[in-house]
Structure 1
Amino acid sequence: MRGSGHGSGLRVKTAGVVLALAALTGGCTSIRDHRGYLVDQTLVDSVSPGVDNRQSVERTLGRPTFVSQFGEKDYYYVSQTVKTPPFGRPRTAEQTILRVRFDPAGNVVAVDKKGIDDVARIRPEGDTTPTLGRHRGLLEDLFGNIGQVGAAGMGTGTQPTGPGPNGS
Structure 2
Amino acid sequence: MPQFSRHSRHGRLLIAVGLSAMLLGTSACTRIRTHQGYQVDKLLVDSVQPGIDNRASVEGTLGRPSFVSQFGEQDWYYVSRTMRSLAFSNPKPVEQTVLRVRFDPAGNVAAVDRMGLEQVARISPSGDKTPTLGRHRSLFDEIFGNIGAVGAGGMGGAGGGSNTGGGPNGS
Do they superpose with TM above 0.5?
A: yes
Match for residue 158 of structure 2? 154
2:131 to 129, 137, 148: 129
- 2:151·2:159 contact (CA, 8 Å) conserved in 1? no
Shift of 1:12: 2.4
Question: Could you tell me the percent identity over the aligned residues?
Answer: 57
State the TM-score, normalized to the length of structure 1: 0.78
Unmatched tracts of structure 1, length 5 or more = 164-168
Structure 2 CA distance for aligned equivalents of residues 109 and 53 of structure 1:
9
Structure 1: distance between partners of 2:98 and 2:24: 38
Post-superposition offset of 1:16: 1.8
Structure-1 residue corresponding to 2:79:
78
- Where 2:95 maps in the other structure, the secondary structure is strand
Distance 2:122 2:98 in 1: 16
State how many pairs are aligned.
161
Asked whether 1:20 is paired with 2:21, we answer: yes
AA aligned to 1:88 is: S
Report the TM-score when normalising by structure 2: 0.77
Alpha-carbon separation, structure 2, partners of 1:95 and 1:75: 16
Aligned to 1:166: none
Query: Which stretches of structure 1, 4 residues or longer, exceed 6 Å deviation after superposition?
Result: none
Structure 2: gaps of 5 or more residues: 167-171
1:126-155 CA-partner distances (Å, limit 9, x unpaired): 433242x43223333344345545544626
CA RMSD between the two structures:
2.7
